[in-house]
Amino acid sequence: MKRVITYGTFDLLHYGHINLLKRAKDLGDFLIVGLSTDEFNLIKGKKSYFDYNQRKILVEAIRYVDFIIPEYSWEQKISDIKKYKIDIFVIGDDWEGKFDFLKDLCQVIYLPRTPEISTTKIKLDLFRTK
């Protein structure tokens, strides 16, 4: 069984998120999502519209996702890869090169984002309409 892991906030869930999760799942048999906690988002300088539990409910409903774990820190990726026996780490290509240090533990793949949509774009578009 090939295990894949990805991480993210997945706030204001949109089709770009679904595309990323589908492509991640297509790489293996079991997809784990490390979902950023509200506390970790604050460390990253982000504020989600939905809290962790609400985002978890949304992401759990996606058929490509097999398991969700909370993401508390940048450093936990190494221990998660070991703990869950991960074969492939997947993340959007806007992070290109940032996780190459994981290549000693598993395959690292940077997937292209869906270019015309992002949570940031949605927030900006909503702000402009007010």
Give the residue numbers marked as catalytic.
44, 46
113 contact partners, CB below 8 Å, separation of at least 6: 16, 20, 92, 93, 94
User: What's the CA gap between 18 and 60, in Å, rounded?
Assistant: 12
Alpha helices in 1-129 (DSSP H): 15-26, 38-43, 52-60, 76-83, 119-128
Q: What are phi and psi of 47, to 5 degrees?
A: -125, 120
Q: Which of 44, 71, 43 is nearest to 55 (CA)?
A: 71
User: What's the CA gap between 45 and 74, in Å, rounded?
Assistant: 13
